[in-house]
Structure 1
Amino acid sequence: MEKQTSKKKVRIYGAGGHSQVIKEVLLMNNYIVTETFDDKPEGVHYASKNVAIGARKDLSAFPHEGDPVIIAVGINSERAEIAQFLKSTYEKAIHESAIISNTSKIGEGTVVFAGAIIQPNTTIGKHVIINTGASVDHDNIIGDYAHISPKAALCGHVEVGEGSHVGVGAVVIPKVKIGKWCTIGAGTIVIKDIPDYATVVGNPGKIIKTKKPV
């Protein structure tokens, strides 16, 4: 008789389209999603079912203890905010087709989607999104709450600061440092260091604005 593998349990915070991708990865990895939360249950993705109210309305009433959580929110600043007020443990979600070096490190709450590649000696922070088909080469440092979008390519020794978003198909050449809470536009080619809070677009990438720190 075939031995039954016990399923792991996890909760999802966030019920938009991004959560659907995370849920599929979790189910593929033999998880059971026991609860789904969202701060606006009336506006969730049509495929999300039985969504409970999140913690913002009443932090003390939220069930912080229990199965580990993945924050399934695509906006970096919101994901960071939620991580600050939840008092829960966190799980990772890594697609079975992702290629990840044994010498790389991935922080809690981080998700790695289908076809992504993470090469040796790279460090990925907490609650990061490594999206579909993204390429993160050797010796990269990716800060907490960052998002590396589909098909983005980071060459060796690249640093991406906390909360920064590298857009779809962007390319970052070796040894470039991107500051915290930056936005790198889709298809941008980054060839030099980028300061904190900058928005960069084009080929070669140019700063078009700088956000003020909140």
Structure 2
Amino acid sequence: MKTEQSIKKVRVYGAGGHSHVIKDVMRMNGYEITDTFDDKPEQVHYASKHVSGGARKNIEKFPHHGDPVIIAVGINAERKEIADFLQSDFETAIHPSAIIAENAVIEEGTVVFAGCIIQTNTRVGKHVIINTGASVDHDNIIGDFAHISPKVALCGHVEVGEGSHVGVGAVVIPKVKIGKWCTIGAGTIVLKDVPDYATVVGNPGKIIKINN
């Protein structure tokens, strides 16, 4: 029987579909979900219950301190904004089926979903999403607030900059550097470095725009 002291607790910020995947991961790891917050509690996922308002409307009254928080928001820029204004400790969510090398580094707030592989000497930053079945090979560097989508394959020595989103099923060959706040389209094959703020699509991947 678990005692009160042995029960791990976490609060979840975000009540969309993404948050339910995170909640499943936390429960598998023995966590109790003590609170769910959302900035638009009237527009949350149909399965979300007992959702409290987030910090945007009144940041001073928000209960920053208490059980650690995991930010369950899929949009990278919004996740960064929330992390910047919350004065809370953050938790990490790693699915039990994920395969992670012993010397890989996973920083706070990051979520690693079912079937992911993270190989040796890789560093994953803060509040990153490593989504279902993604493969992150050796010596990768994944910047804060990035999103590596389902079934992505990052080969060795790949770098993904802060806030960049690598779309479903994309492949990045070895030693490629993707800049910050980039968008890599679903199924794209990335064969060369990508500058900051670029959108890349196709096979082979081509830059279609750079957001200023």
Q: Which bracket does the TM-score occupy, shorter chain normalised? A: over 0.9
Cα distance in 2 between the residues matched to 1:76 and 1:211:
15
Which of 4, 11, 14 is equivalent to 2:2? 4
Q: CA deviation at 1:197?
A: 0.2
Residue 167 of structure 2 is matched in structure 1 by 167
Structure 2, unmatched stretches of 5+, are none
Give the corresponding residue for 2:140.
140
Q: Which amino acid aligns with 2:171?
A: V
Match runs of 1:118-197 below 5 Å: 118-197=118-197
Identity of aligned residues (%): 78
Q: Aligned partners of 1:84, 1:68: CA distance in 2, in Å?
A: 15
Q: Which amino acid aligns with 1:183?
A: T
Matches within 5 A, 1:36-115: 36-115=36-115
| Residue 206 (str. 1) matches residue 206 (str. 2) | yes
AA matched with 1:86:
L
| Structure 1 position 4, deviation (Å) | 3.4
| Alignment RMSD | 0.7
Letter in 2 for 1:32: E
Q: Which whole-Å CA distance do the structure 2 matches of 1:105 and 1:7 have between them?
A: 25
Q: Distance in 1 between matches of 2:68 and 2:168?
A: 30
List structure 1 segments (4+ residues) > 3 angstroms apart after TM superposition: none
Give, in whole Å, the separation in 2 of the partners of 1:8 and 1:129: 22
How far apart in 2 are the matches of 1:107 and 1:43? 30
Amino acid at match of 1:182: C
Counterpart-to-counterpart distance in 2, 1:36 and 1:159: 33
Q: What CA deviation, in whole Å up to 9, does each residue of 1:128-153 have, x standing for no partner?
A: 00000000000000000000000000
* Alpha-carbon distance in 2 for matches of 1:159, 1:10: 30
Structure 1's unaligned 5+ residue stretches are none
What amino acid is aligned across from residue 178 of structure 2 in structure 1? Answer: I
Q: Using the alignment, how far apart are the partners of 2:28 and 2:48 within structure 1?
A: 17
SS in 1 for 2:207: strand
* SS of residue in 1 equivalent to 2:60: helix
Please state how far the C-alpha of 1:7 moved relative to its aligned partner.
1.9
The answer as to 2:15 corresponding to 1:15 is: yes
Partner of 1:60, secondary structure, is coil
SS in structure 2 at match of 1:59? coil
Letter in 2 for 1:150: P
Q: What is the alpha-carbon distance in structure 2 between the residues aligned to residue 4 and residue 126 of structure 1?
A: 30
Q: Distance in 2 between matches of 1:27 and 1:150?
A: 21
Distance 2:91 2:83 in 1: 12
In the alignment, the residues of structure 2 paired with residue 147 and residue 159 of structure 1 have an alpha-carbon distance, to the nearest angstrom, of: 13
Deviations 1:54-87 (A, max 9, x none): 0000000100000000000000000000000000
Query: Does residue 27 of structure 1 match 2:27?
Result: yes
Query: Size of the alignment, in residue pairs?
Result: 210
* SS of corresponding position for 2:23: helix
